[in-house]
A and B are shown apart, each in its own frame.
Chain A
Amino acid sequence: MTRPVFGRGLRPLAITTALATAAAGALVFFYAPIEADQGFSQKIFYIHVPMAIVALLGFVAAGVMGIRHLRSRDRSWDLRSYVAIHLSIILGVGVLVTGSIWAKASWGHWWRWEEPVLVSFLIVFLLYCVYFPLRFSIEDPDRQARYSSVFAITAGAFVPLNFVAVRLAEQVLHPRVFSQTGGDLPGEMFLTLLVSLVAMALLFVTLWKLELSAKHAAQQLKRLRARLELQAERRAEERVSVGSPS
């Protein structure tokens, strides 16, 4: 079995993330123009949308990792999948909270059914919350990994379909006059959004590697301890059998 090392390249990655985040922050507050309709509160857009996109991509990527796990029977892929889902859920909380704040700031209500990103996120979030009780209710590690991968694949296939469905539904319910997320964005806003998106994606990968490294180290440690204790037991048995009169 190959022994993966998850923490490789973490430092340059983290540095790049820090630079990208700083650049994004600078663009958001000093470069992007103030939007006519919503004013200053439109700036939330630059943190809410990248979080949403990265989280959704994270869920889909976790599904792909699930496929790789099932095909290769290499459990490290299941671990990668698990951490990706874990991170995407945390980002998901952020998406819902910042989306809610944005809704309140721009339109005065804490929730907007018209925003397909927000609505489809709520559904996806509720779905993936089931991942953890399912995963931890299975004791056998091999079975746990397999069932988790099946979940990740099914849910990962669901994410884009769900988004399309919610989008279609909202179009029928609330015909969109102008688009919040995408559509015609002036050049400066688009650039700012892009840089923010890249920064958020880098942050995701950095944190993902960090958690993978920590989890993997903990696993290895547990196995090492078990082996050492087994060795100690065997040595103790040998000493007893040697010492007893034959």
Chain B
Amino acid sequence: MTRAAAAILCKDLRIELRTRESVPAMALFALTVYILLHFGLDRDTLDGDLASGVLWVTLLLATVLAVNRLFANEREDGALDGLLLAPVDRTAVYLAKAAALFLYLVLLELVAVPAFALLLLAPGLGGALPELLAVLLVADLGLAAIGALVAALAAETRVRELVVPLFLLPLLVPVIIAGASATEPLLAAPQEADGLGGWLAFLALYDTVFVLVSLAVFDFLLDD
């Protein structure tokens, strides 16, 4: 099954490399949101909780973009039926899509976080970078796990573009709570790593629960 998942993942990545539809859109979207918030909040620099909030909200909104497009290839070319006819476990599809989403998020952050530091962050990233990366990676796991599930749930319905943000964003509230709270002392001046372990533990719990739920439930979707 992991071979099937890897095959699907490679196909998706190759398509993404060729068409460049998801990741550049997410990156441009993030930059646009930074500009909007610069004007909206009327601030040149941010630090502490405001910086943390802007970073995470932007990340979550960009995730919505990616989730909307996650099954787009299959939908537009009718390839979903082909995928389902193949003797492939549905779970392999889930693993592939979640892994793809995780990679897209990491790529996004490679662009969006430095851009954020350059454009808006007052104290600069400095020594807190490893802790920030840790929080982002653990959170990305949860975003990817839930994003893939929501994408599948909404994939074939008529109201997909409404359902994805309205379903996904409330589900991600714990991620933003934990992520923003953990990041806030890292982006403040002076920098500290206050209570980081607790929030990371919570994120890990959240990730575990939803990976397990998604794996258990995914077989019942895409069942046509």
Contacts and interface: CB of A to CB of B under 8 A. Distances in A.
**A–B contact via C-beta, under 8 angstroms:** yes
B202 A165 contact: yes
Contacts of B157: 134, 137-138, 147
Which bucket holds chain B's interface residue count? 20 to 34
Interface of B is mostly: helix
Contacts of A133: 159, 162-163
A157 B181 CA distance: 22
B173 to A, nearest CB: 5
A22 interface: no
A167 to B, nearest CB: 10
A155 B213 CA distance: 10
B35 to A, nearest CB: 28
Contacts of A166: 173, 177
A115 B92 CA distance: 42
Interface stretch (B57-65, B104-112, B121-129, B164-172): B164-172
Nearest to B194: A172
Contacts of A172: 181, 195
Interface of A is mostly: helix
A242 B129 CA distance: 87
Interface string A173-216: 00000000000000000000000000000000000000000000
Given A165-B177, A168-B202, A147 B153 contact: yes
Interface of B: 149, 153-154, 157-159, 162-163, 166-167, 170-171, 173-174, 177-178, 181, 195, 198, 202, 205-206, 209-210, 213-214, 216-217, 220-221, 223-224
Given A147-B153, A157-B210, 17 more contacts: A123-B170, A130-B166, A130-B167, A137-B157, A137-B159, A150-B217, A151-B167, A154-B153, A154-B210, A154-B213, A161-B205, A161-B209, A164-B202, A165-B173, A165-B206, A166-B173, A172-B181
